[in-house]
Structure 1
Amino acid sequence: MSNIIELRDVWKRYDTGGEVVEALKDVHFHAEPGEFVSVMGPSGSGKSTMLNVLGLLDTPSEGTVLLDGQDVTDLSDREMTTQRKRFIGFIFQSFHLIPTLSALENVEVPTLFGDDPTARDRATELLERVGLGDRLDHRPDQLSGGQKQRVAIARALINEPQILLADEPTGNLDQETGRSVLDLFDEIRREDDVAVIAVTHDPQLSNYTDRTVELIDGRIQ
């Protein structure tokens, strides 16, 4: 099966004024459709940088990023945004829900700048799928941590991505709630053939993933 996303010989350097920090060093990485990969490593090892490069939020200093076989390394900001919307859904540890919007409206947010008459129906279906069909009109302050994470997952799926990038998706959840979120990831990747790539410190993720990649000092071990 061909890779949906791939990093080849990727380096990422930051000039901090006095010195150059190498956040990623010669990273090779890939994920196939339907594969669940976790990226583990100590704080400061480059995990978030790698996730940003995979999510087309940051460009490598050297190397190549391939998305569905296409080289996307040197696209313009506008082209990057188009590819992100087409291929990638993001899930964050702190949920990033808009407090004044209902669960349904939060899920619809990524569709607001397009003309999509089916968005509300899709958002409703996704919330039902993640077990929140009875919480459509609840604002984030009326939801538990696990429910907020499920809203965030539904929002990440609204544009029907082929890749889900998750940054510490169980970091703010108790163990049981975290397991239910991981069950949901497992269902999504099996039923929708979505690649799930999760940066995590949570050892229970390895019970769900196809493989774990360890990143230490910017290098994959």
Structure 2
Amino acid sequence: MTHIIELQHVWKRYDTGGEVVEALKDVDFYADPGEFVSVMGPSGSGKSTMLNVLGLLDTPTEGTVLLDGKDVTDLTDQEMTTQRKQFIGFIFQSFHLIPTLSALENVEVPTLFGEDPTARERATDLLERVGLGDRLHYRPDQLSGGQKQRVAVARALVNEPRILLADEPTGNLDRKTGRSVLDLFDEIRREDDVAVIAVTHDPQLGEYADRTVQLVDGRIQ
């Protein structure tokens, strides 16, 4: 089976003005369709950099990124954007919802760059699926933290991605709410065969993940 996403011997270096910082060092990583992988490690270990490379938001200094078996390392910015829209959904720790838009409108945002006559129907179905069918027209300031995270999950899924990347998805949630979001991730990967990759400090993700990868000082342990 072809891995849905793979990093081969990936290095990422940043020149911070006189000093070169190695954020990733010879990283090999993969995830398969329907797999839940958690990436854990201390602050500054390179987790966010790795997530950005996996999400085609950043390019490696060395090494190869494969998306569904295809080398996407050296694509143009426009080609990267096309691949992200087709394959990848993002969930951010601080939700990044637009405060002036309703829950439904926030979920529709990724579909706005093109003609998509089924977008509103999909957005409505997803909000109902995450338990917010009665909150479609609520703005973010009318929602709890857990509800905002569920809107963010629905938004990440609206383009029917094959990979879900989550940055500290339970970081701003209490334990019970965090568990309900993780239950939702588990349902999505089982029912829709979506690979879920979550960067986290939260040990309860380990109960849900098929495997946990430890990243320390830019290297996978």
TM-score, reference length from structure 2: 1.00
Cα drift, residue 36 of structure 1: 0.1
User: Runs (4+) of structure 1 moved beyond 2 Å?
Assistant: none
Q: Distance in 2 between matches of 1:113 and 1:36?
A: 29
- The reply on whether 1:30 has 2:3 as its aligned counterpart is no
Aligned to 1:6: 6
- What does 1:109-120 correspond to in 2, within 5 Å? 109-120=109-120
Aligned to 2:146: 146
Aligned to 1:133: 133
Cα drift, residue 131 of structure 1: 0.3
Structure 1 residue ranges without an equivalent (≥5): none
SS in 2 for 1:136: coil
Q: Distance in 1 between matches of 2:118 and 2:155?
A: 14
Aligned to 2:20: 20
Aligned to 1:93: 93
Q: Distance in 2 between matches of 1:121 and 1:159?
A: 12
Cα drift, residue 23 of structure 1: 0.2
Cα drift, residue 97 of structure 1: 0.1
- The reply on whether 1:165 has 2:165 as its aligned counterpart is yes
TM-score, reference length from structure 1: 1.00
SS in 2 for 1:177: helix
Cα drift, residue 128 of structure 1: 0.2
**C-alpha deviations, 1:20-56, integer Å up to 9, x for none?**
0000000000000000000000000000000000000
Name the aligned partner's letter for residue 124 of structure 2.
Answer: T
Query: Percent identity between the aligned chains?
Result: 88
Aligned to 1:84: 84
- The reply on whether 1:184 has 2:175 as its aligned counterpart is no
Name the aligned partner's letter for residue 56 of structure 1.
Answer: L
Structure 2 residue ranges without an equivalent (≥5): none
SS in 2 for 1:96: coil
SS in 2 for 1:13: strand
- What does 1:182-221 correspond to in 2, within 5 Å? 182-221=182-221
SS in 1 for 2:79: helix
Cα drift, residue 18 of structure 1: 1.3
SS in 2 for 1:180: helix
Aligned to 1:73: 73
Q: Distance in 1 between matches of 2:21 and 2:72?
A: 24
